[in-house]
């Protein structure tokens, strides 16, 4: 199995740092790329495909719904959220392959979920 490329769209720097450190030690076969805003994520997605996506629901310039509605994310994904508009999520759930992970979560919970969904 080659390295898996994972895009993590997360605006909270402490969460991004914890994930980066955890995955470097516990899952070196996953290559993480980080984006802090929707705009940054769109630029990255225009240049590269990813095996998996982790998207914070609320970002400084919009929501995960914006990315999914533009069909920018192809492949499995997790939306991480502490709160979300249930109707909006239901709309996105109907058309996309992703699961929800409620914040706060532990890095090992995210890794377990990614491994499950990549099987």
What residues make up the domain containing 109? 4-114
pLDDT of residue 93: 62
Q: What share of residues in the chain are helix, strand, coil (percent, to 5)?
A: 45, 25, 30
Tell me the CA distances in angstroms from 14 to 19, 22, 93, 97, one per residue in order. 9, 12, 28, 27
Quote the number of domains for the chain.
Answer: 1
Model pLDDT for residues 74-114, shown as the tens digit of each residue: 889 999 988 766 666 666 666 666 888 888 999 999 999 99
Domain membership of residue 93 (yes or no) is: yes
Identify the CATH number of the domain in which residue 22 sits: 3.40.50.2300
Q: Name the more confident of 58 and 33.
A: 33
Say if 119 falls within a structural domain.
no
Average pLDDT, the chain: 89
In the chain, where does DSSP find H-type helix? 13-26, 38-47, 64-69, 86-95, 107-118
């Amino acid at each position: 199995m080659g390295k898996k490329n994972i895009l993590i769209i997360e605006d909270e720097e402490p969460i991004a740092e914890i994930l980066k450190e955890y995955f470097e030690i516990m899952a070196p076969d996953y290559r993480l790329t980080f984006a802090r805003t929707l705009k940054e994520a769109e630029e990255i997605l225009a240049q590269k495909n990813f095996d998996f996506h982790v998207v914070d629901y609320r970002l400084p310039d919009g929501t995960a719904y914006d990315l999914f509605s533009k069909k920018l994310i192809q492949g499995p994904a997790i939306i991480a959220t502490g709160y979300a508009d249930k109707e909006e999520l239901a709309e996105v759930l109907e058309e996309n392959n992703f699961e929800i992970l409620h914040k706060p979560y532990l890095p090992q919970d995210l890794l377990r979920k990614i491994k499950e969904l990549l099987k």
